[in-house]
Structure 1
Amino acid sequence: MSLLLYGHPFSSYTQKVLIALYENATPFQFRILGPDTPQNAAEWLQRWPLRKFPLLVDDGRNVVETSIIIEYLQQRHAGSVRLLPDDPAAALDVRFLDRFFDLHVMSPVQHAVGGALSGDDGKAADALASAVERLELAYGWLETQLAGRRWATGDAFTLADCAAAPSLFYADWTHRIDGTWPVLRDYRARLLARPSFARAVEEARPYRPLFPLGAPDRD
């Protein structure tokens, strides 16, 4: 039985796993969750009633949480691109940056999106203001952290970059990464040019009207 991935192309966390799969050309079936595929949603909820996606299924085994899914893929379906280094200290650096992008970049974006979807103008404004404040702190730290690096932790593309790509993609839509942060802006551009992420971005393009803060024409 081939790998199954339940998720949605416009979901940042689904994209994070798609990048890992595309990096190594790992065969899988993508079962998109949406109103046109109720059977996929039923299968997904039966396997993972906590209602979070993406979900990876490997020969009947359910694997959840994006960082765990990517590590699992390396253990069980390894390819030529090693997304976690073998050296324990280097692997810790990668895991830390992975968590940073999820918790300190993507989480503020999700907070702003949640506020926009609430239908309450006051909540939306407060959520966006909070997100902007948190993203400014993250941008400032990353600007220094990424200086002199091609990818998040150095010369190799890793799990941290899988997390960074969708996080920074949507973060820039929420609070623009402008000329104040040239290192970070250039890093985002390199991520967009990476074939694995470029593919994920194109596959998600039809869903851009779903972004409640207004999807820009760029990217």
Structure 2
Amino acid sequence: MSLVLYGHPFSSYTWKALIPLWADGTDFEFRSVEQHGPEFAALAPFGQFPLLVDEGQVVAESSIIIEHLQRRHPGPNRWIPDGDAGLRVRFLDRVFDQRVMDRATVPVGNALRPEDRRDPYGVEQALARLRAAYDWLEGELPSDGWAVGETFTMADCAAAPALFYADWVEPIGDRRPRLLGYRRRLLAHPAVARAVEQARPYRSYFPLGAPDRD
């Protein structure tokens, strides 16, 4: 098997790498870090997943994995287009990773801390910044289609897990109909729906308590 992806089915950034692999129909082997922990740890430069191994070459970071797949294992989808559209895709990829997903992980991480080391103020700040990102996206996203036009791109690969989990932490709400509609379209995409289903048995891992939806 030339391609091996290490990750976890409940991990948002693992989803981000799985979605293009599945959507392109790329042949690969998935190895859960729960079953292959020592093997993964020996390969991972920073101990973080997902991690792609391509004929011995180790590729870390979900965005770089997607770019590597487009260059080395192209399929029917073009994840990062050329020109200005490609810049927009890369920009929104950073927004969804850093302004949505990373903010949403703050309350989750806080819940895992010992009670005497929790940071309510840090959580409050993260949620305020997450709401600001929601408001910005509401004004930037189209009313239909995907993040950058009619083509599903790396920006959407980042958006799907980010908005899936962020809405569990801080609901998007009906006053942001464009963002809420975009999340619904993402969850209906076959590769995203597959990620959701594969992760379903692990919902008890969510420390804030997974909602009874999605």
TM-score range, shorter chain: over 0.9
Q: What amino acid is the match of 1:163?
A: A
Q: CA deviation at 1:130?
A: 2.1
* Mapped partners of 1:144, 1:51: distance in 2: 37
Match of 2:201 among 189, 206, 211: 206
* Mapped partners of 2:20, 2:102: distance in 1: 21
Q: Does residue 66 in structure 1 map to residue 65 in structure 2?
A: no
* 1:168-191 per-position Cα deviation (integer Å, ceiling 9, x unaligned): 000000000111101000000000
Q: Does residue 176 in structure 1 map to residue 171 in structure 2?
A: yes
Q: What amino acid is the match of 2:65?
A: I
Match of 2:156 among 149, 158, 161: 161
Contact kept, 8 Å, 1:104 with 1:134, in 2: the verdict is yes
The alignment covers a number of residue pairs equal to: 214
Q: CA deviation at 1:121?
A: 6.8
* Mapped partners of 1:83, 1:205: distance in 2: 26
Q: What amino acid is the match of 1:43?
A: E
* Mapped partners of 1:216, 1:94: distance in 2: 30
The DSSP-based 3-state class of the residue aligned with 1:102 is: helix
Q: CA deviation at 1:2?
A: 2.4
The DSSP-based 3-state class of the residue aligned with 2:118 is: helix
Q: CA deviation at 1:110?
A: 1.3
Query: TM-score, normalization: structure 1?
Result: 0.94
The DSSP-based 3-state class of the residue aligned with 2:31 is: strand
Please, which runs of 5 or more residues in structure 1 have no aligned partner?
A: none
Query: TM-score, normalization: structure 2?
Result: 0.96
Kindly, what percent of the aligned residue pairs are identical?
Answer: 55
Q: What amino acid is the match of 2:59?
A: V
* Mapped partners of 1:109, 1:211: distance in 2: 12
Q: Which moved more, 1:116-125 or 1:24-33?
A: 116-125
* Mapped partners of 2:119, 2:140: distance in 1: 31
The DSSP-based 3-state class of the residue aligned with 2:120 is: helix
2:72 maps to 76
